[in-house]
Amino acid sequence: MIKIKILTIALIILAFKASAESFVYITDQLDLPIRSDKEFGNNIIRLLPSGTELSLLQSTEDGWAQIQFDDTIGWIKSFYLSPDPSAREKLKKLTRTNNDNKLLITKLSTEKEDLENQLSLLKQENTNLVVQSSKSKAEKEHIEKIYQDALKLEHENEKLIQEKLQLKAELQLAENNTQIQKDTSSRNWFIVGAIVLFFGMMIGFIAPGLLNRKRF
Distance between CA 188 and CA 177 in Å, rounded?
A: 16
**Which amino acid type is present at position 208?**
P
Residues 77 and 104 in one domain: no
Query: Does any domain span residue 204?
Result: no
Cβ neighbours of 173 (radius 10 Å): 10
Query: Does any domain span residue 206?
Result: no
Residues 80 and 144 in one domain: no
Residues 162 and 105 in one domain: yes
| Residue among 46, 54, 56, 129 at smallest CA distance from 89 | 54
Residues 57 and 106 in one domain: no
Query: Does any domain span residue 123?
Result: yes
Quote the DSSP letter at residue 78.
Answer: G
Is residue 204 pLDDT above 70, yes or no? no
Query: Does any domain span residue 212?
Result: no
Tell me the per-residue pLDDT of 76-112, one tens digit each, with 9 for 90 and over: 988 888 787 666 666 777 788 888 888 888 888 888 8
Query: Does any domain span residue 67?
Result: yes
Degrees (nearest 5) of the Cα angle 198, 199, 203? 120
Residues 80 and 114 in one domain: no
**Considering its fold, how many domains does the chain have in total?**
2
Predicted local distance difference test score (pLDDT) of residue 188: 66
Full residue range of the structural domain in which residue 106 is found: 99-166
Query: Does any domain span residue 10?
Result: yes
Query: Does any domain span residue 162?
Result: yes
Residues 10 and 52 in one domain: yes
Query: Does any domain span residue 199?
Result: no
Q: What is the mean pLDDT of residues 160-178?
A: 81
Residues 7 and 81 in one domain: yes
Least confident of 39-48, 87-96, 124-133, 140-149: 87-96
Q: Please report, for the domain that includes residue 79, its CATH number.
A: 2.30.30.40
